[in-house]
Amino acid sequence: MKWFLNNVPSQWRIAFAVVVTAIMMTVIYDYGWQIGLPLALRNLSGLILFSCIMLGAGAAYIGARVYGSNYAQAIKIALVTPVIWHIKEMIVCMGFYGFAAGLYSGIQGPYLFYYCIVFMLMGACHLLYQISLRLQKKSGDKIIKSTALFFIPMLVIGGLEGTVMLVFGFDLFVFQGFLTGYRAFIM
């Protein structure tokens, strides 16, 4: 524990803890059956893993801001867990379908929406952080202006998806767009 406190910068501690927890839960969830772990324990590890993947960015963002990171650095720290998970998923897909298909699967629409959800979660955490600063009578960013920036990716991606669906009747990012691109580039 002393090594951890001495060598890991305080802004990165929660992100590091989320990544380590996610790795441990992945191992338990994926390989627990081989050593006879009970199904309930493996399911619990899956729930914790899902929480790390979906909520870890918000926790890491708050941790980075509390320990003194600025806005941009806290976003970079918070995106460590989602990016590591995304790369892991691409590698798993490459193992099944080959390099090109695995790489292409990593740029499909659901991942774009995943990052949009992660940014919205960080926006909610940022809003809570700014409100807590106001309640403590400490200076902070402009609440609405700084929080609204987190929602722009979802507005852009969702707007593109909705516009293309409305005008062309074509699902750009999620399923039809993925299959069309797969047939054009991979097959």
* pLDDT, tens digit (0-9, with 9 covering 90-100), for 141-185: 677 777 888 888 888 888 888 888 888 777 777 666 667 777 777
pLDDT for the residue numbered 120: 92
pLDDT for the residue numbered 68: 87
Q: Across the chain, what does the average pLDDT equal?
A: 86
Lowest mean pLDDT among 11-25, 79-93, 151-165: 151-165
Q: Has residue 186 got a pLDDT over 80?
A: no
Q: For the chain, which residues make up each domain, given as ranges?
A: 8-185
CB 77 within 8 A of CB 56: no
Q: How far apart are CA 130 and CA 28, in angstroms?
A: 37
Mean pLDDT of 14-41: 93
